[in-house]
Amino acid sequence: MSVATIMLLFVAGFLSGVINAIAGGGTFLTFGAMTFAGLPPIAANATSSITQFPGYITSTLAYRSELRSAWKGAVVLAIVSAVGALGGALFLVSLSNPAFRSMVPWLLIAATLVFAAGPKLRPKTTGESHPATPLGIAIQTVTSFYGGFFGAGMGIMMLASLGLASGGDYHRLNALKNFLSIVIAAVAIAVFTSAGAVSWLHAAIMVPAVALGGYTGVAVARRVPQALLRWTVVAFGLGLAVYYFMTG
């Protein structure tokens, strides 16, 4: 691996951590950087799941007090999330790289649109939680399938599905989202690892960069408007989709 490639992966990982800490959407950068570095799309997608995993853990630990009061609902949602993620990850590894690559630009466009509409998709919360509803559980299962399969924009989709599934204030929903992201990513990583779809060399370069970027992102959040970062991610996502269309 060349020095230029290592620098590309590290910088993309760092920026991904910064963006995730402020507005979300860092998966676009990690996935894009690994495909530019020459990884096949399935391996890039699988490895990207690993690079984001430490961030899910630290975010969940920050919300541990909210999770203590929501653990009963979290267990039910964790089970359906694991089932959905398992289905999505198995579907991904069953595809050939050309088949998945033909889907990537459409997935990127859909994920970018969801990300752009993120503020409008956030549920209007009243602070009142309730037992998981069948509709909310069904939507969470579908969201988890998508998370195991591709994952970009999953967090925003989960905030919407969890608003239906359990209700509660924003911090409660965000705590559940972070916890369930661990479940979804862990199941997907287990499948990807068993299938030999992970590039551990690329992951080893990007994981510390993502962690460093996540720490730095807290300071950046005080200086850079979230809207600016959000639309930067949207522009990158659309540009990446155009790249896949043109090179397909």
More confident residue, 247 or 121: 247
Could you give the CA distance from residue 36 to residue 207 in angstroms, rounded to a whole number? 18
What span, in angstroms and rounded, lies between the C-alpha atoms of 47 and 199? 6
Task: Read off the pLDDT of residues 195-233 as tens digits, 9 standing for 90 and up.
Answer: 999 999 999 999 999 888 877 776 665 676 767 767 777
The answer for residues whose C-beta is within 8 angstroms of residue 58's C-beta and 6 or more apart is 214
| pLDDT 10s digits, 92-121 | 999 999 999 889 889 888 888 877 776 665
Phi/psi class of residue 196: alpha, beta or left (left: φ > 0; alpha: ψ in -120 to 50)? left
pLDDT of residue 70: 63
Query: What residues does each domain of the chain span?
Result: 3-247
Q: What does the pLDDT look like over 151-163, one tens digit per residue?
A: 877 877 777 777 7
Query: Is the predicted pLDDT of residue 125 greater than 60, yes or no?
Result: no
Question: What gap in Å lies between CA 43 and CA 34, rounded to an integer?
Answer: 9
Q: Is the pLDDT of residue 132 over 70?
A: no
